[in-house]
Amino acid sequence: MKLNHSSKEIAITEKHTYNHFSKIASKYRTLRTTDSEPILFIKNRLNGKSKINMADVGCGDGRYSLELLRCLEDKCYLHCIDSNEDMLKHLKDYLKEQNTMNFCVRPGDANKLPLENDSMDCIVTFNAIHHFDIQKFLEEALGCLKDDGQLFIYTRLRNQNSRNIWGQYFPLFTEMENRLFEFDELQNHIQQADMKIFHKKIFGYTRTSSLTKLVEKARSNHYSTFSLYSEESFETSLETFEQNIRNNFDDLENVHWQDENILIEIEK
């Protein structure tokens, strides 16, 4: 069951999260992996629409925004929404460097979207839902979507998080990351927002990395979870992680594991 937090605790967490993403905005694209499979799935689900007014909420530095625009080509106009100004600055520069122009930057909170009512054909969010007040976000999305609009949520569930390389071998990783949801929790929130799940799909990815690069990722806050550790706790956990990898993998240049995510398609 998810924990209830006081408004003071939520405010502290939001400030911490904002500062974290500002700090890593310039290097975020090098830290995270962009999965093309959910983009292709979304494209297929939108195949019947000739013009698509779309919003990418929690867009960050534009990794998924660019993939959406490339995949959907001239069919899509994308509203890139994020509360972090540093991320949006890098997104704007990045998309223009890629000669992509059919987008706009809209600073704003996922819990109060800077969009007009009944204006969106599609709203997407990638690996960001755990940073939102999910009930407020869903209610906002409901109001902004057209009658036949679709909402796609791409995230990892708590149980999926516990099975990746960090959840299995990095001490306290699953305990620290209490912001993620399980599917039944998401389903309940969606039902409360008077929306319904049309489709869900699990994606699995085989990842490979060296131990050295894994350590670099952890130190660079590959996941925001790492920023939640105290300095002492992080160093102790990282040392244990390194030993756990050495104990469980023969080839430290080719450490293999499976990442999992879920994509939920929601109808208004």
pLDDT of residue 268: 85
The region of weakest confidence among 15-19, 65-69, 89-93, 245-249 is 15-19
| Residue type (1 letter), 109 | D
Residue among 139, 86, 94 nearest 115 (CA): 139
Q: What is the DSSP letter of 3?
A: P
Q: Model confidence over 86-124: pLDDT tens digits?
A: 989 999 999 999 999 899 999 999 999 999 999 999 999
Alpha helices in 204-258 (DSSP H): 211-219, 231-248
DSSP 94-135: HHHHTT--SEEEEE-BTTB-SS-TT-EEEEEEES-GGGS-HH
- Written as six digits, the tokens of 260 are 């999992």
Q: What is the mean pLDDT of residues 60-74?
A: 92
Q: Model confidence over 216-233: pLDDT tens digits?
A: 999 998 898 999 999 999
Q: Is 254 exposed, middle or buried (0-12, 13-18, 19+ CB in 10 A)?
A: exposed
Domains, the chain, ordered by start: 7-166+177-206+261-267 (3.40.50.150)
3-state helix, strand, coil in the chain (%, to 5): 50, 25, 25
pLDDT of residue 23: 55
Question: What is the maximal distance between C-alpha atoms in the chain?
Answer: 56
| pTM of the entire predicted model | 0.90
- What is the overall mean pLDDT for the chain? 90
Q: What is the DSSP letter of 128?
A: -
pLDDT of residue 15: 59
Q: State which H helix or E strand residue 265 sits in.
A: strand 255-267
pLDDT for 187 beyond 70: yes
